[in-house]
Structure 1
Amino acid sequence: MDWTPTVRLSRLQREQRCIWPLGDNEVLLLWYAESVYAFENRCPHQGFALENSVLDAAEHSLSCPLHQWRFRLGTGQCLHNQSALKVYETRLQDQRVWIRLPGG
């Protein structure tokens, strides 16, 4: 698997979230509770973009703004059923957020 650099950490900390293009897809990068999370920017329910999702501190989850499906930040697992977000592993290197791509 290959790692690819994305946004500068300082920008993500300042903006809290950003969308990063990845081929034909987009990755939603989140800075929350001193951690970085990366998901494909689409809900598995109906493919709605998650860039305006709502974070829930109590559940440590994010909710799709279309139908409020909630997903765990760490795993991407849906709290309502067996669906899950596509999650990318992240690391910090050279003041950037890197995501691990499948394959390679």
Structure 2
Amino acid sequence: MAQEWQDVCASQDILPGEMQVHWVGDTPVCLINYEGDLYALEDRCSHEDFELSQGEFDPLAGTVECVLHGAKFDVTNGHPLCAPAYRSVLRFAVKRENGRVWVGKTPL
């Protein structure tokens, strides 16, 4: 099945080191610009169903930390890097096209 895409913002609206939340269908997604590359993770910690966007994105380490219990995730693949999270966060495809950022509607 072909990926369906949703336009979420202009390319210039998310600069390196920034994180934004966009709704893709019914799913809140953290759009993250890590060193100029864009990544999209579900805005939900896999440990405690809390918004990752409330935590901190570390643009040097490429991690996002859940403010609730301190679980950290690799923004490039959604994998947990420490307890208490043991499951990856859902991630979504991202593309830039015609000056816009598009996020896939189906998780990878």
Interval of TM-score (by shorter of Structure 1 and Structure 2): 0.7 to 0.9
Residues 2/63 of structure 1: CA separation in 2 closer, same or farther (3 Å cut): same
State the number of aligned residues.
103
What is residue 84 of structure 1 aligned with on the other side? 88
% identical equivalent positions:
23
In structure 2, distance between residues paired with 1:32 and 1:73: 8
Residues 46/36 of structure 1: CA separation in 2 closer, same or farther (3 Å cut): same
TM-superposed CA distance for 1:79, in Å, is 1.2
Q: Which runs of 5+ in 2 are unaligned?
A: none
Residue 102 of structure 2: which of 71, 94, 98 is its match?
Answer: 98
What is residue 31 of structure 1 aligned with on the other side? 33
Q: Which runs of 5+ in 1 are unaligned?
A: none
Structure 1 residue runs of 4 or more that deviate by more than 6 Å after TM superposition: none
**CA RMSD, 1 decimal:** 2.1
Q: Which amino acid aligns with 1:48?
A: F
Q: Which residues in structure 2 correspond to 1:2-13 (within 5 Å)?
A: 2-13=4-15
TM-score in terms of structure 2 length = 0.82
TM-score in terms of structure 1 length = 0.85
TM-superposed CA distance for 1:37, in Å, is 1.2
Residue 68 of structure 1: which of 67, 70, 76 is its match?
Answer: 70
Residues 14/88 of structure 1: CA separation in 2 closer, same or farther (3 Å cut): same
TM-superposed CA distance for 1:22, in Å, is 2.2
